[in-house]
Chain A
């Protein structure tokens, strides 16, 4: 396979999507390459296996290819694509029986260890994130790892703003419960 040549007059996402709607495979490939990094970065927060990441990304772009005609120009292409990826990821990750995010926080023993070093805090934070219900975890990652606004997350997750706020609120509450050191003054 030859790598697609760089297009000096790179088309916008909207123009690429319009071309995809007309069956242009090259436009789909260009859109895929421009979004692969962002999507893979986001998805790799939930699964360490690249096979799973690739499956979700490719499923997402299969939907993009088939449903490009359903895109409404009132919304951003990036929000639309992330919304498809979000729903695809939810289904895929829920199928993984051993996914730790599906477990309830109540099933996990409360941690009493008080981490001092920054690396230890990060380790404990990752463990705490892994205990969150998937939708709460994804909301937090969309805000903190990907830097999305409240309104963008509402559109991506197809949920009311109030629901997004509530998911984030409960995620933080559980995280703080699981990681008491984060709430202390020692950090």
Chain B
């Protein structure tokens, strides 16, 4: 963009050029710009150059993300705060960070560190046996843990993070599957069959799809390499 002259109209038109090239300018302003560039070579070149910038930025390839996993994390965060009607009115100018969805996890992380520190202290003092820790369930799970197997689950799969929701729905429809659980922290979905079709057939359809990273039958007898 060239330096504008001191003429007020020149500066006014120069400021409107971005919205002239992106096509959102109003009719009166459009006519103003077009009338000005007829007589102003600087602005005429400016429009051409700005159009190149606009086309380059506008045509930049966007990144597609599958929203399901993100939505699940939002839902988990919402579970912790309840409905908006039950909350006190938000004061004006409230900081966004005060309602951060991730804050409960930060609290849990801090609590976890504190609990760990206490246990380490007791273990060092030889008092570990005071706590019946062996009776407690583990605070972790693996993606192949049969104990957390959802009802109806026949296949576990991991999809590309770039798969579109519509494509996923089409794929699952064609494979006659539905999601019964997931995604886990590792991005694993549990799938159930919606028909009497052999699981191996559905599995084959998933594995042949380029957006499927991993697909495995939960029945160990039919497991194959993906």
- Is the beta-carbon distance between B25 and A23 smaller than 8 angstroms? no
- Residues on A with beta carbons closer than 8 Å to the beta carbon of B87: 66
How far does the alpha carbon of A165 sit from the alpha carbon of B180 in the complex, in Å?
A: 50
Instruction: Please name the residue on chain B nearest to A128 by beta carbon.
Output: B53
- The CA-CA distance from A54 to B77 in the complex, in Å, is 13
C-alpha gap A150/B15 in the complex (Å): 10
Q: Counting CB contacts under 8 A, is A141 at the interface? A: yes
Q: Inside 8 A of A102's CB, which chain B residues have their CB? A: none
B1 within 8 A of A: yes
Per-residue A-contact encoding for B69-100, CB less than 8 Å = 1, 0 else: 01111110110010111110110000011011
B68 interfacial contact with A, CB 8 Å: yes
For residue A110, CB closer than 8 A to chain B, the reply is no
Q: Which of A57, A69, A168, A182 contacts B84 (CB 8 A)?
A: A69
Pick from A1, A33, A67 the residue with the most CB of B within 10 Å.
Answer: A1
Q: Is the CB of A1 within 8 A of B57?
A: no
Tell me whether B52 is interfacial, beta carbon within 8 Å.
yes
Of A7-15, A34-42, A72-80, the one touching chain B: A34-42
| Residue in B53, B85, B100 whose CB lies within 8 Å of A144 | B53
Residue contact A122 to B84, C-beta cutoff 8 Å: no
Query: How many angstroms from the CA of A125 to the CA of B53 in the assembled complex?
Result: 8
The 6 closest A-B pairs by CB, nearest first: A23-B83, A149-B24, A144-B57, A36-B67, A41-B62, A165-B15
